[in-house]
């Protein structure tokens, strides 16, 4: 049975940070459900690229997933205001499931109280909103929390998500296939 990832989409999502990890996960055979938090299936990103979500969050909220993925970008403000992403993040961690956030999205994890006492990274623009000094690595894994810095680290981040769900061999195979 393939692993399942829930990827949250809101208006203003960062396209590279969303689509690169989703693409890599799907290449590895992971089912990724991109769910819109707005109730609309069409969602426009920060660079005005509009994509169709696979579902709305309401449609999949009660389904089982192995990992929660929260992309960054200016749309994170809407995710934070909504509240459901932070609530989902807490539920995933309480269930022993990983939560991944890139760029500004670790602020959602901070809102959920999940970053205290952990190593993490994020985009420099949100460091004052976070509870500790940012780690300087491109991707940081601390227990169930996986964080990354921004669009320029999306490939590393996506490969780490593959590694977390499918193992080193799968991540190496995907990296080789894309000539990474």
Angle between helices 154-166 and 15-27 (to 10 degrees): 30
Given 7, 47, 103, 180, which residue is catalytic?
Answer: 103
Distance CA 125, CA 119 (A): 18
Buried b or exposed e, range 130-157, using 16+ CB within 10 angstroms: beeebbeebbbbeebbbbbbbbebbbbb
Candidates 163, 150, 169; CA nearest to 20 is 150
**For residues 164 and 143, is the Cβ–Cβ distance under 8 A?**
no
For residue 43, what is the DSSP state?
E
Candidates 116, 57, 52; CA nearest to 82 is 57
Distance CA 85, CA 70 (A): 8
The two structure tokens encoding residue 50: 């509009």
Active site (annotated) includes residue 180 = no
Catalytic residues: 103
């Amino acid at each position: 049975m393939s692993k399942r990832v829930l990827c949250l989409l809101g208006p203003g999502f960062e396209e590279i940070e969303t689509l690169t990890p989703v693409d890599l996960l799907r290449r590895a055979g992971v089912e990724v459900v991109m769910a819109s938090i707005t109730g609309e299936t069409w969602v426009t990103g920060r660079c005005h690229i509009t994509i169709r979500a696979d579902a709305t969050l309401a449609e999949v909220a009660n389904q089982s997933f192995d990992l929660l993925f929260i992309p960054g970008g200016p749309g994170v403000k809407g995710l934070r205001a909504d509240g459901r992403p932070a609530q989902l993040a807490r539920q995933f961690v309480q269930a022993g499931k990983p939560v991944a956030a890139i760029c500004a999205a670790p602020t959602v994890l901070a809102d959920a109280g999940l970053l205290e006492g952990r190593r993490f990274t994020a985009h420099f623009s949100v460091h004052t909103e976070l509870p500790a000094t940012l780690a300087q690595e491109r991707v940081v894994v601390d227990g169930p929390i996986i964080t990354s810095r921004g669009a320029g680290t999306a490939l590393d981040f996506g490969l780490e998500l593959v590694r977390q769900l499918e193992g080193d061999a799968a991540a190496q195979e995907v990296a080789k296939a894309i000539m990474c």
